[in-house]
Structure 1
């Protein structure tokens, strides 16, 4: 069974930096990302939907620039779940929000940086200005993903993270992690 790919690979009117799509998404957080239509599915919804299925795969064939963004976001979700699982006691929803928001804005390597795990599959931004734009976009996407992930983790109302999400803590998509 093959891994699931992004439905946004065929989008033509999307800005690219290197070979990574900067897709629009719905957001309540102020940032640089283009805003998607309120009722439409965006890349973050798609990433959250495909995370559990795709995290079972060690290999992933990249079929377009949206798949590259999907990979980065899946690896970020994996790091978020690891951060929550690292707590001695399960964090409350408010604590998890603070924890993941801090993780979202922490420094991270970009494609082309020496310590970026997937440099073989990504083109480096052509100049410093494009790299700054990519970093701002990814920080915004990470913040929105973290906020939506917390909503999914605590959707059952028990005040504890869902075991159906935290059971994927030890799974590594493509046997990689964005964390250092």
Structure 2
């Protein structure tokens, strides 16, 4: 289980390091403006990568989605939801926000305690956060803290229920 988790976390990072840099010749068939894409692209710098004219309008969901497993992943009283959603059947996410690292550490510990999770593979992130796998018989959760501007910290939880056969 530990090896699988490590691979899931490191393989995407390793593969992204292989991606060609904008302006290089690698991967030209899939870049905007290349001969295999319609519409072309480009900007004044001569790069075939065009910048979006405006940022996409991403609306955050401040409430838990219908079907969220609140019995297996209860939120502590007073927790502030920054975003939440369902990625697919049996897979959800919730992002909580805190004002500082001390509040994030307390919330992290409370989520583990009230849900009876076992914390596995804890580690520090390069950004100054932390990550771990939280597990219970009902859920496996990939947990991550993300330090932000002004001392704020986001706590990101990706939940997945075990597959059931039948």
TM-score, normalising length from structure 2? Answer: 0.25
Q: Compare CA radii of gyration and give the structure with the larger one.
A: 2
Which protein has the bigger strand share? 2
Which protein has the bigger helix share? 1
TM-score, normalising length from structure 1? Answer: 0.24
